[in-house]
Amino acid sequence: MSRKMILRVPKFQEPKRMEKSEAQRLWLLLKDAIVEVQHMNASTLSFEELYRSSYSLVIAKRGDILYTGLEEVNNHHTKNLLDKIAQAVDERFLIELNSQWQQYKLQQIMIHDILMYLDRMYVKEPQLKVFDLGMFKWKQNVLIHSQINDRLVRMLLGLIHMERNGEVIDGALMKSLIQMYVDVSLKEKETYKQEFEERFLLATSHFYKSESNLFITNNSCGAYLKKVEIRLIEEEARIKQYLDESTGPKLIKACEDELIANHMQTMIEMETGCRTMIQNDRFNELKLMYRLFQRVENGLVHLKNEFAGYVRNEGHKIVNQPENLKDPNALITSLIEIRNRFEKTLSQSFANNRDFINSVNTAFESFLNENDKLSESLALFIDKKLRGGFKDSNDQEIDVIMNKVILLFRFLSDKDVFKKFYEHYLAKRLLSGRSFSEDLERTMISKFKQECGNQFTSKMEGMFTDMRLSKDALDGFKNYLQTSVEMGKLPKIDMSVRVLTQGFWPTFPPHSCTLPPLLSQYCDLFTKYYCHAHTGRRIIWQTNIGTAEVTFRLPKKTHVLALSTYQMLIMLLFNDAEKLSLKQMAAGTSISFMDIQRSVKPLYSGKYKVLKRTPAVEKSKELSENDIFELNLNLKCKLHRIKFAATSQTDSEPERQHTRQRVDEDRKIEIDAAIVRIMKSRKALIHNDLIVECTKQLSSRFVPQTSMIKKRIENLIEREYLERFPDDRRRYRYLA
Amino acid sequence: MESKKTFENYSKLSTDFEDLLHSKNYSDFRIIVKSQLQETKTFECHRAILSSRSDYFHGLFRSQMIEAQTGFIEFEDVMPQVMENLLSYIYSGKLEINSENAVEILVFSSRFCFHDLLDFVTDF
């Protein structure tokens, strides 16, 4: 279409000059028609005639007559309407207003249609479009007139108030009248906002302020929450039914402020409030509270803090309960129980909200590390489970328990302490053959591995390897014995040896004892055999954790006693003596007095007494060096094999201390390694930064004390790994 | 991925509607054009199409004035050929403009508020 044609001046293009009288005639024709329209008598008019008249005026450049005339007619008409409407009394007022408004709107559409050409071709900003002009005149002369506006708003608000109090009102009428405010607004619903919305919101706040205050004082928190929920649903419906949708967010905000935000503290603290709900696991009420609090700013923070506070408090009680301190099993069981309980609250009431979960976890972290009991208790708990093979639990339940253990473990800040204890009890289980199932052991370990990586479990896995290799070594030894020359000279005993790689296993506190000659000879033989097969290795005998079976011949009956190595040594002494004092026992076996005490105790105070104290004393009394024991030849027992506990199940205080000490030793090494690692990469660092970095690196294993890190830095300076800057003593340099 | 295709065939739509204008089927409104130069021409039309395609007719039917009641409208100041062109445009969306009819089309598309057509003819 690039080619433009020059058009000859056409006869239609140039409007005929219109006489003023002709223009006047056309205007009067239109004016009469408009008045007819305003009196709802449009049906006899010709649309085309009117349209053509308006068209003719506009193309004759006489649009101004039409436009100003229209303005006047509208002005006149709306003023008449005002009187008519204002006269209506009571409820008639709204009905009259509404019916006049509906008619007026239709008329304006019709007038707009007739004057379409004027509207499109003549009207220019800032003049109002034909329809808008009609709206404006209605607004100016009717709606915001002092006789109408205030009366109307008051009546509308009155009806809404009635509806809020449960009465039925005419929703369609409401919608039409409220929409009128929107329709007469020229831009951005300004009339609606100024004249209606503002006052409506104020009335709403007022209504709910007094209702909520009254309701919450006379009802339970649960009932109040339900009430609030219903109110919010009602208001949502109100928006749809007769308000402009732009009011929605403002209305809901006003309701939420009055109904929720202003009462949050009360709902948390009141007797039937949040605290009680959490205490009594009222999941549904809490869920509702969560849903409602979620709607207001900072609402969830309040709820979350309250919940986390409760969790911390409950946890604190559990970890400090005297019974729990004595019974690791009860402690861990209670902890798992509350964990389960709170997880249920989290999922059923708090939609598993991340923030809530995190703050519950933080609470767990804080009370689980309140005292240093937990690492050991957790290790003991698992120890008991693994000894008993998770009695009464199926595979799935076992998995659940193990996962809970891992969960609690995750909260421990000193994972290295736990690890030491776990290794300690694992070693005991393996060596005493008390582990129920290797599969379960390995499952548990694999979970730790998943959680903390290879390094955490390498020693534990090493223990299992040792157990397997020991079996092979022992088989080899037995074959060796059969072919050995020396064998002929020795009486046969059944000896079982476990070879433990140093480093994998916890070092048990060093103990010494004198073995009977026969056993000693066997030990020597084994050493000879083993060191021949594995050159370069050295065997250190660890007799204190062994077991033995001893035949006990009574005059009438023979029993087999299952004893610890120490107990065996003590019992063997009675082959050559009738009565022995503890002191003599210690001398005869070279066992420490304390171990003698612990070994003897089960022999004379248990269910089956193979030793008796002479003279008989109350058994609760502490043993002293000079207490004398003899064999109890009157032992009555139907069992052939009698089993004795080596020592009490839990460790004695010195052993525990020993474990702790070893943890400290290991920590020194870990801290040294961390410092060197950091300094190697950073070359130079300020003291505080080094402490921070070091703490960060180690945090997955334990929380190092600053004083300890300081000492290690000093130590590393002495060992010339680091040096201080001469000009700045607070800075360190790495020495390669 | 679910594949989705829309079948479009506007040219058939256009010819079918044009046929409708000439077939007089289901017509419910008559447009009568009187002319001194040519003989009177009557177009049998459809309110639904007129009102949805033209603001002028939309207003005319909506206002329920005399034309909407009697079912016809008379023009005396429109050339029958131009009215045919305009109706053809209303029905089919197509209009051939040439130097013969351009000026008149311009005038009447303005008068009846066919703004898209008006813009096009003005450019022509």
CA pair distance A728, A221, nearest whole angstrom: 63
User: Which residues does A391 contact at the CB level (< 8 Å), separation at least 6?
Assistant: none
Task: Assess B65–A contact: CB distance below 8 Å, yes or no.
Answer: yes
A41: contact with B, CB 8 A cutoff: no
Residues of A in contact with B63 (CB under 8 A): 42, 47, 110, 113-114
* Local mean pLDDT, 10-residue blocks, chain B (124 residues): 83 93 91 86 95 94 94 92 92 88 88 85 76
Residue A496: alpha-carbon gap to chain centroid: 51
Q: How far apart are CA A72 and CA B86, in angstroms?
A: 36
Name the residue of chain B whose CA is nearest to A41's CA.
B65
A106: left (phi over 0), alpha (psi -120 to 50) or beta: alpha
Query: Cα separation of A650 and A656, whole Å?
Result: 9
Burial B95-119 (b: 16+ CB within 10 A, else e): bebeeebbbbbbbbbbbbbbeebbe
- Closest Cα in chain A to B102: A7
Residues in chain B with CB shorter than 8 Å from the CB of A47 are 59-60, 63, 65-68, 73
d(CA A539, CA A523): 10
Q: Is B56 on the interface with A (CB under 8 A)?
A: yes
Nearest chain A residue to B31 by CA: give it.
A48
For residue A116, give the nearest of B55, B102, B104 by CB distance.
B55
In this prediction, residue A648 carries a pLDDT of 46
Cβ distance of B62 and A112 shorter than 8 Å: no
> Could you check whether the bond before residue A615 is cis, i.e. omega within 30 degrees of 0?
yes
What pLDDT was estimated at residue A1?
38
In this prediction, the residues of chain A whose per-residue pLDDT falls under 50 are 1-14, 648-650
Radius of gyration of chain A (CA): 48
pLDDT at A10: 43
- Chain B residue numbers with beta carbons less than 8 Å from the beta carbon of A5 are 99, 102, 124
Interface test with B, best of A48, A50, A109, A110 (most B CBs within 10 A): A48
Provide the pLDDT for residue A11. 45
Q: How close A78 comes to chain B (CA, Å)?
A: 21
| Residue B51 to chain A, least CA–CA distance (Å) | 12
User: Residue A444's CB: how many other CB atoms inside 10 A?
Assistant: 22
pLDDT value of position B1: 58
The side-by-side arrangement of strands in the sheet containing A722-724 is A684-686, A731-734, A722-724
Using a CB–CB cutoff of 8 Å, tell me whether A46 touches chain B.
yes
DSSP string, B72-110: EEEESSS-HHHHHHHHHHHHHS-----TTTHHHHHHHHH
User: Which of A43, A116, A117 has its CB closest to that of B64?
Assistant: A43
Phi/psi for A370 (5° steps) reads -60, -45
The single residue listed with the structure tokens 């009486």 is A491
Residues 6+ apart with CB under 8 A from A75: A137, A141
| CA atoms of A310 and A198, how far apart (whole Å) | 42
Q: Among candidates A428, A463, A392, which has minimal Cα distance to A649?
A: A428
**Predicted pLDDT of residue A620:** 54
Question: Is any Cβ of chain B less than 8 angstroms from the Cβ of A436?
Answer: no
Cβ–Cβ gap A1/B65 under 8 Å: no
In this complex, do B67 and A46 lie within 8 Å of one another by their Cβ atoms?
yes
Task: Pick the closest to residue A117 from A41, A66, A160, A183 (CA basis).
Answer: A66
Cβ A577 vs Cβ A567: under 8 Å? no
pTM of the model as a whole: 0.74
- B30 neighbors B72 (Cβ within 8 angstroms): yes
Task: Find residues 75-104 of chain B whose CB sits inside 8 Å of chain A.
Answer: 75, 77, 99, 102-104
For this complex, say whether ipTM is above 0.90.
yes
B22 reaches A (C-beta below 8 A) = no
Identify the sign of the CA torsion A108, A109, A115, A116: positive
Chain B residues with CB under 8 Å of A45 CB are 65-66
Query: Are the C-beta atoms of residues B25 and B62 closer than 8 Å to each other?
Result: no
To the nearest whole Å, the CA of A9 is away from the closest chain B CA by: 9
For A233, A295, A690, the CA distances from A230, given in Å and listed in that order, are 5, 15, 58
Chain B residue numbers touching A55 (CB-CB < 8 A): 111
What single string gives the DSSP state of each residue in A364-429? HHHHHTSSTHHHHHHHHHHHHHHHHTSTT--HHHHHHHHHHHHHHHHH-S-HHHHHHHHHHHHHHH
